[in-house]
Structure formats: C-alpha cells, structure tokens
A and B are shown apart, each in its own frame.
Chain A
Amino acid sequence: MKIEGLTKIFTGRKGVLALDNVSFSVNDGQIVGFVGLNGAGKTTTIRIAAGVSLPSSGTVFVDGHDVVSGKVEASRAIGWVPESPNFEPNSSGISLMQYFAGFYGIPTSDARARSMDLLNSVGLEDAETRKFRTYSQGMKKRFSLAAALLSEPKNYLFDEVLNGLDPEGIRYFRNLMVELKAKGAAVLLSSHILVEIESLADAVVFIHKGRVIKTATREELQDVGQRMVKLVVRNVDQRAIAYLEGLGSVRREADALYLTSEVDPARVNAELIGMGYQVVEFSSLKEGLEEYFLNLIAEAK
C-alpha cells in the first residue's frame, strides 16, 4: 500500500484540514503501526485507503491500483476492519457474507460454504444466523474481519481494531496479524495501545494534526528512546544533584531522581557510592514508545 500526498479537507461552513500531504508505504510482509492522538487523521487516512472516503488530493495505491480510479481492483486487494463495524442491523451474518461474496465474484454455490468457513475461523460458528444487531462489539469486529478475509486480500487496514476487545480477542487479532505478515500481507494497524504496536509493528508512522511527523522502522525505534537511570539516594543533596546534572538532564519526582544520559549507569552508581551517598534504589530504564510519541507531539507543538 502506497499513500502519496494524501490531503483531505472536510468541506462545510468551516473547512477542516484533516490530512495534509500524508505519505507513507506499507510493504508486503510488513506491519506498520499508525499512531496519533484522537483526531490526528488516522481513521480518515484508513477510510480513504479502504475506498469509503474520497481524498481531496493525493492518492492511495493498493497493489498498484488507485483506490479512486481503480476502485474495484483496489477494493478486491484490501480488507478493512473499522473500529466500529457497521453492517445491516437486520441481516444475519451468513446472509451478509453471501451478499458480500457476490461482489468478489464468488459463485453462489461456493459462497455459503466459504462464508461458513470464515465465520467459523473467526469464532462466529454459532452466530451465523443471528441478526447483526445482536452481536457484541467483539463479535462485530470478528465478523468484519471475516468479511475482510472473503477475497483473501494481501493488504489489510485495521483501525483501532484492538479497542474494546477482551484479552482473548486481543490475542486473537495479534496472532492473526502475525500470521498475515508471515503470509506476506501488508498490514496497517492503527491503535492507541502502543505496547501492542511496539510489539507487532515493523515500522511506525506518527501522525499529528493531519501531518506525518515521524516514520520509524523497528530498528530505528530500538534506538530512539534515550537511556534513563532511576536513582533513589537517601542522603541526596545539592552536591549529588550537581554531579548528576554534569552527566545529563535530571528530573526529580518524590524521592526519585531520573537521569537521562548516555553515561554507563553502573559508573554513575559506583561514583555516587564513592562520593559517600547511600543509593538505595538503582535501575536502568529506557524511554518507551509512549514517551517517545509524547515527546514527538511536544516537539510538533
């Protein structure tokens, strides 16, 4: 999936610039995390990529097909699971699946069996005849996933798909994404659960106020966080703090001192003890994705 110069302006009394020249790619066999605050433009980007919203300018290519001018081919190659799946409330799961199968050219004779297989695979084997409106949030997401898998696409858009799921559901989707990646699929995953992004994503796109502020690979992410040392010193005084400030930036929270520095933590510990201080707690930390993201936001502001 290749997103190029995507811009979206919501027209109205006050035109709102929702996306501003957004560009990034999701390659085959790659999971790309899509991170941003509420209203940053994640869902808008994904909706355009899914073909359900129109860009003001820019393009999204899915396997080389423009989602606007080559909508049918692009939609055939992509599966979309929105945050809040919304299907015909009075239709049963199986009838909806068969209906969608028609769009993918799946013969009527095969549509039911294929639909049942997919519903079974997502854990909806006992709910296929129930009306969609009776589904729980988790079931709706599973159903949406089954519908997305109908054509076995090579590209997936998961928009906050882990929100509202129970631990079992989260694990199911996590494993699914890993499976899809292993099969060579391209997955764009937007989520507020940054721990999941951190553990799954091969790259992360950070978006803020409609603009991509950072794109980082997994390798880059491993190094992006600065090293931090947490110290609890019983007889701390100005001399100790002056020493630490000579090594890096120091932040004090209650009894703890946080030193952000590339200096070897063991050396800091040893020198403080040598200076006569009682170090009762010492731990080496690394700035997480969350802190990194918040720092990026702060910088963007």
Chain B
Amino acid sequence: MAGALRHDFVRTLRTKSVLVSMAVIVVLSLGLVPLVKLATSPVPISSGGTVVAEYYSGGLYHFLAYSYNTYGQPVSGTPVNVTFFGPGAPPSSTGSTNSSGYAAWTVGGGLPSNNFSFLVTASGNELIEGTFSPSPEPGEVGFIAGDILSLVQDPANSSRSDVLFAYIGPNGTVPSMYRIYYSYGSSNSFNQMNESEMSFLGVPNSYATVFKLPQAPAGTTTTQIGAFDVNGTAVASSTYSYQVVGGPSTPPTPQQLFTSFTSSILSLVIPLMAILVAFNTYGKDRATGVLESVLARPVTRLGLGVTRYLSSLLSISVAIIISLAAMEAISQALIGKILAPEFVLYTFAALFVEAASFVGLTMLISHLLKSAGAIEWVAVGLWIVLDFFWSVIVLFGALALGVEIGSGNYLGVTIDLGFLNPAQYYGLVGEYLNGVSITSNGGGSIPISPATYGLTPLTLTVAAVLWVVVPLAGFLYLARRRD
C-alpha cells in the first residue's frame, strides 16, 4: 500500500493543477513588490495634533500648548501662533513646543471691554477661529483650541486605542481635579453622559495624560468618554458610534502587509487546488473508468479511497509548504524578514483543514455525479460560492435575522456562519489568534475578546475535526456502497 500511496502522491504532485496553483501563488506574491515598496517609504503622520489653552491672570494672557503625535506622545518644535483682532486686542504671539511637547508663554494686556476675534494656528494649520469673550473669573480657562479628549493609537498594539486628555486646571495648574470615565454601550441610542453610570478610567497627572481603554465586550455599539469635575459636570465628553471608535490608523508595516497578502492568496488558492487535486486524483478517474483499473487489483474500495485521499492531502501539504517557502524567500528578498514562525504554523494547520475538507467534499461529489465535467464544475462552483459570494450570503442572512449591518451582532453572525463554511476556517483561526475588532471608518478599531463570539481553541478544534471527518466519512461510505 505504501507503494501505491507513493505512486499516487508523485502523480498528484506532478499534475497541472498543483503545479499551476503553486505558480499562481508565487506569481501573485511577486505582485507584492510595488506594494511593499510603497509601504516602506516614509509615511507622514496623519493624526496627532495640538491643544492650546488660555487663561487670564495677573494682567497677562497665559497660553499653554501641547503638541502630540498619533500615539499621544509629545512632538517638539511645533510652532503655535495666537492672533487677536480688533481694537484693544492684545498683540499676536507665538510659542514653540519643547521636547516634552509643551509650549508656555504670556502676552501682556488688559482685559478688553468688548469681545474680539482671535485665530490659533499650529504649524500653520488653523486650530480655531472665534470670538473671544473676556474670562469672567481670572485664572479660569478662556478658550481651548483643539480636542480635550481624543483617541490615539496604543503604541504597543496597533489594533487598540488609548484616550488622550489634554487640559489645564485653574491658573494653569495640572488638571488633576478632573476624573475621566468611559462606558461601552450595546444599543444604538446615545445616552446622556452620567458619571455614576460610567466606569472610572483615571485621573490626569499632567497637562496631557494618556489612558488605556479596556477591552470592549461583545455587542458593543457605542463608546462614551467623559471628563468630569468634582461636581460631576462634564468639561469634555466624546461619544462614538461603534464604527468610529478607535485610534488613528497607521500604515501597515511591510511584514504586516506581506502576511496579510500571503493569507489572502493562500486562503483563496489552496481550496481551489484541493478541489482540482481531488478531482484529478479521484473524481476524473472514477468518471472515466480509470479507477476501475486499480480497483481490479487486490485492494478494497475503502483502501483505494483512503489511499487516494491521503495522497491528495500529502500532495497539497507539500504544495503549501513549497508555496510558503517561496513566499519566505520573497519576503526575505523584499523586506529582509522572514514570515513569523507562528504565522507560518497556523497558516499551514488551518489551510490543511480547509484542504482536507475540500478534498473530502470533492471526492464525495464524485460519487454523486456521473460525468467528469459535472463533478469538476459543481466542485469549483462550490468553491466560488464559499469563497467569493460568502459575504453576500452572510449579508442576506444577517438581514433575514434583522441584524444591523456593521454592528457587533453582525460580527457575531459573520463568525457563526463562518463555522458553516470550510473556506472560512483559516479566517476564523486568524481572528482567534489576532483578535477580533471592528475597524472604524477612520481606521481605528475596538478589540473584542474572540471568545465572546465563540472563537475558542475548543470550538475551532471541533470545527476542524467536523470539517475533516464529515466529508471524509460521507465519501468513504459512498465509495464502499456505490459503484
């Protein structure tokens, strides 16, 4: 039997479908070259900003500015300009942020009796233009330009968001009298922010403080963040729909890009390769009668089926390994890094499950249809539906269930239905390992525990076993019982 397995393995590995599939994978991988070059070029920081606060005290206008990058970290050398307009207005002034991101300066002048206009710019970009009203109480904040509360990216995890609170207390003190709260909601309505109904996030310990948001639970549709004074009055608040919560996006690293591209190519090509291999190894031979020349030998139907199944899987496994090796070589050549070993391992394992499932399904179909053409087209059609039109099926399924598109429940439906599709298995494993999150229109995301949606090692293992065993069992049953 070992000889038969070897013969079938070598024969399968030499089939056009395997060779062409591997070539397609490599050629598509080479298509990454321009993308990777794009990704490795310097990308300007698109997010970040400057907050400027003003208060009047002791006959002086006091200005404090904080300039930060996409992570909320200080940015030095940012020029900040404040211009007043109108009779009696104080003169224009300029500050420049230091290495801590701060700039503090004063401008002399008495409080005017009338309102006057002002313009604040940072690095030449307008932050605010408005009408200045003299502060009723000396030392109180006169105006604030920029966002007091803003979402910044977690420097340790690009898929997570942090909260930056930038403000000043009375007379320019550190705003430690404020409390920062947050809440995650599961309805689409925006509730009035109430400190007592929110979760405590922290107390500012400087003019600009970054707070880490905890993991959002499943079904989260809104996020609210508020800064409250001792009286429970919100001095700043932000409410986000699920779609816009998250940190500013950063361009993917070349390795991330390569990993993502590799995943996309392999998850698309490997199932098709499995179908074609199973068809060439079994379906076509069965439909054309070639299989009978083997069945006439001292071998049982079960034995022949198992041998062909194993040789197909072995060939596909080798093809996956060769493809991954080719991608490793391309990765090394392009970005000087190899793919992460964990990524390679889980990619192989998950694709193996997909391949085993599609091989079993195709061989099962081979016993349900009689012509080679029908077998091939039904199997390929199955792949087209499960790989290309699955998102449409999920969409209609969600609509039928009354689930709002883009909500947390929609993500749950997507994952639940993913368990019903062997072509989605690789994606499910990836979501389990890399985390589930909702990407906002602005590029941010809220990370959610995969277990919340049933993505656990146990469920993934059960799904893998079922997707391998059920088609195989069906195929072997028919192979034994049907001509």
- The digit string for B1-38, where 1 denotes a CB below 8 A from any CB of A, is 11110010001000000000000000000000000000
Distance (whole angstroms) from the CB of A180 to the closest CB of chain B = 17
The interface residues of chain A lying within 8 Å CB-to-CB of B290 are: 86-89
Q: How many angstroms from the CA of A116 to the CA of B7 in the assembled complex?
A: 18
Kindly identify which residue among B289, B294, B299 contacts A72, using a CB–CB cutoff of 8 Å: B299
Partner-binding segment picked from A45-53, A188-196, A214-222: A45-53
A102, B4: Cβ atoms closer than 8 Å: yes
Interface residues of A in 5-46 (CB under 8 A from B): none
* A80 in contact with B11 given A87-B290, A108-B3 (CB within 8 Å): no
A52, B296: Cβ atoms closer than 8 Å: yes
Kindly identify which residue among A85, A88, A147 contacts B11, using a CB–CB cutoff of 8 Å: A88
Q: How many angstroms from the CA of A257 to the CA of B288 in the assembled complex?
A: 52
A71, B300: Cβ atoms closer than 8 Å: yes
CB-based nearest B residue for A101: B3
B298, A86: Cβ atoms closer than 8 Å: no
Size range of the chain B interface in the assembly: 20 to 34
B11, A54: Cβ atoms closer than 8 Å: no
CB-based nearest B residue for A53: B483
* A54 in contact with B297 given A87-B290, A88-B11 (CB within 8 Å): no
Distance (whole angstroms) from the CB of A3 to the closest CB of chain B = 17
A104, B296: Cβ atoms closer than 8 Å: no
Determine chain A's interface SS by DSSP, over half rule.
helix
Q: Report if A76 contacts B (CB, 8 A).
A: yes
Kindly identify which residue among A73, A89, A104 contacts B297, using a CB–CB cutoff of 8 Å: A104
A147, B293: Cβ atoms closer than 8 Å: yes
- The digit string for A95-113, where 1 denotes a CB below 8 A from any CB of B, is 1001111111000100100
B285, A80: Cβ atoms closer than 8 Å: no
The interface residues of chain A lying within 8 Å CB-to-CB of B1 are: 102-103
Q: Report if B322 contacts A (CB, 8 A).
A: no
The interface residues of chain A lying within 8 Å CB-to-CB of B296 are: 50-52, 75, 80
Q: How many angstroms from the CA of A11 to the CA of B482 in the assembled complex?
A: 10
Q: Report if A91 contacts B (CB, 8 A).
A: yes
The interface residues of chain B lying within 8 Å CB-to-CB of A76 are: 298
- The digit string for B462-483, where 1 denotes a CB below 8 A from any CB of A, is 0000000000000000000111
The interface residues of chain A lying within 8 Å CB-to-CB of B294 are: 100, 103
Q: Report if B295 contacts A (CB, 8 A).
A: yes
Q: How many angstroms from the CA of A86 to the CA of B291 in the assembled complex?
A: 8
Q: Report if B404 contacts A (CB, 8 A).
A: no
Q: Which residues of A contact B (CB under 8 A)?
A: 47, 50-54, 71-73, 75-76, 80, 82, 85-89, 91, 95, 98-104, 108, 111, 144, 147, 151
Q: Which residues of B contact A (CB under 8 A)?
A: 1-4, 7, 11, 285, 288-290, 292-301, 481-483
| Given A75-B298, A86-B288, A102-B1, 5 more pairs with CB closer than 8 A | A72-B299, A85-B293, A89-B290, A91-B11, A102-B7
